[in-house]
């Protein structure tokens, strides 16, 4: 059976303010909120929105993520790698073995699909 689930548009005040596992502040005082709007029936995928204020995190990924940027601008730099600038309207993926910095230049909101 095929199922379609329409995801709600989150209200700005409703996000979970907890810091993500593997994300450590390395510059500034950024804050983040996450809206996990849907988890697949087998628990392998999570979809939702994430928002963060300017500052820099060092992130360690353990799972694949697809991102569509809704607002903001970020410079993502893999450890020992080349910086990539992403901004509103861009889409990108982060592989499960990523380690590096997310320098948030402008408050960002992204839609994500995360493979657990």
**Could you give the number of structural domains in the chain?**
1
- Decide if pLDDT at 5 tops 90: no
The domain in which residue 106 lies consists of 17-115
Of the candidates 73, 75, 84, 76, which has an alpha carbon nearest to the alpha carbon of residue 108?
73
Residue 8 within any structural domain of the chain:
no
Residue 1 within any structural domain of the chain:
no
Whole-number Cα distances in Å, 92 to 39, 66, 69, 81: 21, 6, 8, 16
Pairing state of beta strands 32-39 and 91-94?
A: unpaired
Asked whether 81 and 112 are in contact (CB, 8 A), the reply is: no
Instruction: Write the pLDDT tens digit of every residue in 31-82.
Output: 999 988 888 989 899 999 999 999 999 999 999 999 999 999 999 999 999 9
Of the candidates 91, 40, 96, 90, which has an alpha carbon nearest to the alpha carbon of residue 65?
96
Whole-number Cα distances in Å, 101 to 8, 43, 84: 30, 28, 10
Query: Domain with 53 in it: what CATH number?
Result: 2.60.120.10
Residue 111 within any structural domain of the chain:
yes
Whole-structure pTM over 0.85, yes or no?
Answer: yes
Residue 63 within any structural domain of the chain:
yes
Residue 4 within any structural domain of the chain:
no
Average pLDDT (106-110) is 96
């Amino acid at each position: 059976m095929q199922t379609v689930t329409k995801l709600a548009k989150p209200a700005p005040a409703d996000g979970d303010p907890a810091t993500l596992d593997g994300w450590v502040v390395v510059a500034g005082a950024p804050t983040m909120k996450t809206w996990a709007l849907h988890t697949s029936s087998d628990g392998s995928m999570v979809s939702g929105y994430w928002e963060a204020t300017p500052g820099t995190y060092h992130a360690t990924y353990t799972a694949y993520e697809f991102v569509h940027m809704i607002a903001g601008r970020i410079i993502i730099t893999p450890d020992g790698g080349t910086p990539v600038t992403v901004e509103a309207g861009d889409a990108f993926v982060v592989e499960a073995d990523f380690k590096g910095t997310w320098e948030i230049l402008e408050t960002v909101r992204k839609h994500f699909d995360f493979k657990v």
